[in-house]
Amino acid sequence: MTDRPSALTTEIAAEQRHVDEVYARLEEVRSGTSAVEAEGHLRAQLGNEGALYERDVLVHNAARRRAALDRGYDGLVFGRLDLRTGEARHIGRLGVLDAKYEPLVVDWRAPAAAPFYRATSEDPLDVVRRRVIHSSGTRVVGLSDDLLDPSAAPEGMAVVGEGALMATLARARGTAMRDIVATIQREQDEAIRAPAAGTTIIEGGPGTGKTAVALHRVAYLLYSDRNRYAGDGVLVLGPSPTFVRYIDQVLPSLGEEGVVLRSLGTMLTGVEATRRDDAALAAVKGGLRIRRVLTRLVWQPAPTAPQRFRAVYGGEVLILDAAALSAARKAARRRGAVPNGSQGQARTALLDALWNVSRGWAEPPEHWEREEFDAEMRERTEFQEFVAAWWPIVDAEQVLRWAADRSRLARSAGSDLTRDEVAALATSFRADGWSVADIALLDEIKALLGKPPRSAARRRRPEDWEMQEIRLSSDRPERAPAPVDEDEEFSLIVVDEAQDLSPMQWRMLGRRGKYASWTLVGDPAQSAWEDAAEATTAMDAAVGTRLRRRYLLTTNYRNSAEIFELAARVLRRWEPGLDLPTAVRKTGAEPSERVVPSGSLPEATRAAARELLDDVEGTVGVVTTARARDEVAGWLEGLGAGRLQVVDSIEAKGLEYDGVVVVEPAGIIGESSAGHRVLYVSLSRATHRLVVLTTDPEWAEPPSDRPRSSEPLSLF
Ligand SMILES: Nc1ncnc2c1ncn2[C@@H]1O[C@H](COP(=O)(O)OP(=O)(O)OP(=O)(O)O)[C@@H](O)[C@H]1O
């Protein structure tokens, strides 16, 4: 036995000294920013407008910097490079300079940090040793070293710890996604640091880090060109509100606030859709055929439009009956570009029609002057009220509710929809609230309706100004994401699970990113959308024809090798030709498949959930069909205390749990025409343990008459 400290202890102590120095410096910087903020408020007391502006700039910048310092505080320094030159370079969530402006820590996004992620033993990029520093709060608790260039290592250079990546992957998962800033892998780093221009497409199988990479890419782009993307210039779109909640702490943990995170159902201000249509109906609502139907629908008369107009002029009675009004409507439509912008044309068409009535008389009144006639009519309240009722300014929700009337919808549908489709759509528009697929329809209708002329441009009201100030000067700014305004344009749009966007949803996004840089992330093998060609065309139209760069991620970091082997085996029965990722982590825990009689399914589900809650430290997910979701949730009532979540197979997209119970896989396959891919999603959610509960022993077998596809897939 020796009392000499181990190499690990000595190295930890050395890193702790550096980390302490960084935190001490950080405190100085923090008090500096508070002083700037205080000065900003002082200037405001001068009271003139210039001083107010200066105050806002000062307070805003200082508050942003301080928020970043707060967020990046824990585990601030996570890496170190020892270079051939003898330089030791520390890498962290933020860059920190000492009082002489020498770097104490380099921001992970700076070019000087790139070798931390890129260096390999084959291509060490002048790095001799790469070190990951594990911390708890401000305390260094462990180190993991890679000696990349042994020939250049100085005498006595210590190499300590286990592989950082494996240690990270083995940890239990919580309810929120974590950043991966300390262990980003080379192929991921290439996608993160891809140039901003044009469209970046990041593909990869389950668990390859696509979501993590997309979020780190946002942080990277904000760092490299903040002026372009700051404010509300960045939109990250995920598949569901559950997913958005799951990822919403990643960017703040990287020191980035103010990015708009949305799901497909919450793209419109004031409308929140969570209901999902069944696959067949969603396909009708998502396909481009419906666009033609909406184009006709918006020009239809409002259901409340009056059918007759009567006025007395110069002692004569003028009447417009239904036929005359219909002709006037057609004339107005010919002249107008968009319905809400055509009330003026409607007015003119009505005046023409009224005048023509008098011309049709056997003895038209000679002394009537057209100009005078028009001027007087326009002034009359009864005429103005008639115009407002006959050609009202409508909003998108009103118009889509019109389509709940089957015969009205059928009139707009022409031959673009079948009778059954019309019936199913009309029924769905009668339901309370909107479905996720409806949001893209509402957005399309809004664009088709256009704006009333001279609509007051959105002016900044004094209250907005006040609100802003409160948010900026609060001690720790609350994350109050700005609602997505339909007119808002983004300069960076990141779409996760992009393989599932319908053509109509692509159109909705395209309207918000005419000049944007796009990052599209997805996996065609997880796609629930059948008509890939139509979605690709719509995506092309949305993102434009600018340069596209593609990145393929090939390693699955989520699933144990045993779990992913099952998921991949099942998918390959349906689509043998697919190229799937490799899972790197073996746990020795094989997934368990249990065939149970249907009467015992509730008890078996409860038992399996209980078993996994005991076995894993982190979260447990129970994944089932949309139809059975609530019932299954009922079976599990009272279990899990916040660690257990029941989701349906579509909701499960993008999520992960330490233990997963998949209930009735055959039902998941049966819920949509690409159901086997949806099941693949469900089977690839678990990090440690997977139990499949089925009443059908043949659940994994495709029907014998189903053609097996061996087509390789690609995302766009
Ligand atoms: N380099 C890495 N270091 C540590 N953990 C990583 C790394 N890359 C990915 N992970 C982890 O792997 C898991 C899967 O990542 P992520 O959810 O981003 O994958 P994905 O490709 O989006 O998956 P899916 O398509 O199945 O939803 C996450 O827990 C993530 O933190």
pLDDT at site 470: 31
User: How remote is the CA of residue 561 from the centroid of ligand 1, in Å?
Assistant: 14
One domain for residues 505 and 582? no
pLDDT at site 694: 97
User: How remote is the CA of residue 187 from the centroid of ligand 1, in Å?
Assistant: 13
Strands 517-522 and 492-495: what pairing? parallel
> Could you tell me the CA-to-CA distances from 675 to 281, 482, 565, 670 in Å, in that order?
15, 36, 19, 6
> Which three-class secondary structure state does DSSP give residue 627?
coil
One domain for residues 257 and 283? no
One domain for residues 284 and 405? yes
One domain for residues 370 and 446? no
User: In this structure, which residue's CA is closest to atom 24 in ligand 1?
Assistant: 206
One domain for residues 368 and 331? yes
| 637-692 residue pLDDT tens | 999 988 999 999 999 999 999 999 999 999 999 998 889 999 999 999 999 999 99
Q: Is 207 marked within a binding site?
A: yes
pLDDT at site 269: 87
Ligand 1 mutation target, pool 117, 210, 250, 555, most atoms within 8 A of CB: 210
Distance CA 286, CA 505 (A): 7
**Sign of the CA dihedral 205, 208, 212, 214?**
negative
Specify the CATH number for the domain of residue 237: 3.40.50.300
> Which three-class secondary structure state does DSSP give residue 76?
coil
Which among 342, 371, 390 is the end of a domain?
A: 390
Do the Cβ atoms of 526 and 675 come closer than 8 Å? Answer: no
For the CA of 553, the closest atom of ligand 1 is 21
Would you say residue 411 lies in a domain? Answer: yes
User: How remote is the CA of residue 327 from the centroid of ligand 1, in Å?
Assistant: 61
Number of domains in the chain: 5
User: In this structure, which residue's CA is closest to atom 3 in ligand 1?
Assistant: 183
What does the H/E/C string look like for 302-370? CCCCCCCEEEEECCEEEEECHHHHHHHHHHHHHHCCCHHHCHHHHHHHHHHHHHHHHHHCCCCCCCCCH
One domain for residues 687 and 583? yes
Distance CA 676, CA 408 (A): 37
Q: What is the mean pLDDT of the chain?
A: 88
* Domain carrying residue 162: 7-171
pLDDT at site 479: 38
pLDDT at site 473: 32
One domain for residues 69 and 56? yes
| 384-393 residue pLDDT tens | 999 999 999 9
One domain for residues 628 and 544? no
Would you say residue 339 lies in a domain? Answer: yes
Rg of the chain, C-alpha, whole Å: 31
Would you say residue 187 lies in a domain? Answer: no
pLDDT at site 325: 97
- Extract the runs of DSSP E, i.e. beta strands, from 216-293: 234-238, 260-263
One domain for residues 290 and 264? no
Would you say residue 712 lies in a domain? Answer: no
pLDDT at site 486: 53
Do the Cβ atoms of 522 and 499 come closer than 8 Å? Answer: yes
User: How remote is the CA of residue 210 from the centroid of ligand 1, in Å?
Assistant: 6
Ligand 1 mutation target, pool 237, 523, 558, most atoms within 8 A of CB: 558
**Torsions phi, psi for 483 (to 5 deg):** -65, 150
Would you say residue 532 lies in a domain? Answer: yes
Would you say residue 622 lies in a domain? Answer: yes
* Distance from the first to the final alpha carbon of the chain: 63
For the CA of 685, the closest atom of ligand 1 is 26
pLDDT at site 109: 95
CA atoms within 13 A on the CB side of 383: 23
How much is the pTM? Answer: 0.86
User: How remote is the CA of residue 507 from the centroid of ligand 1, in Å?
Assistant: 29
Which among 370, 390, 410 is the end of a domain?
A: 390
pLDDT at site 37: 61
Q: Is 204 marked within a binding site?
A: yes
Would you say residue 480 lies in a domain? Answer: no
pLDDT at site 528: 74
> Which three-class secondary structure state does DSSP give residue 104?
strand
Q: Which residues of the chain have pLDDT under 70?
A: 1-4, 33-73, 231-232, 454-487, 530, 706-716
Residue ranges around ligand 1 (CB below 6 Å): 165, 168-169, 178, 180, 183-185, 188, 204, 206-212, 523, 557-558, 654, 656, 684
One domain for residues 36 and 144? yes
Which among 348, 363, 390 is the end of a domain?
A: 390
One domain for residues 356 and 500? no
Would you say residue 313 lies in a domain? Answer: yes
Q: Is 599 marked within a binding site?
A: no
One domain for residues 232 and 146? no
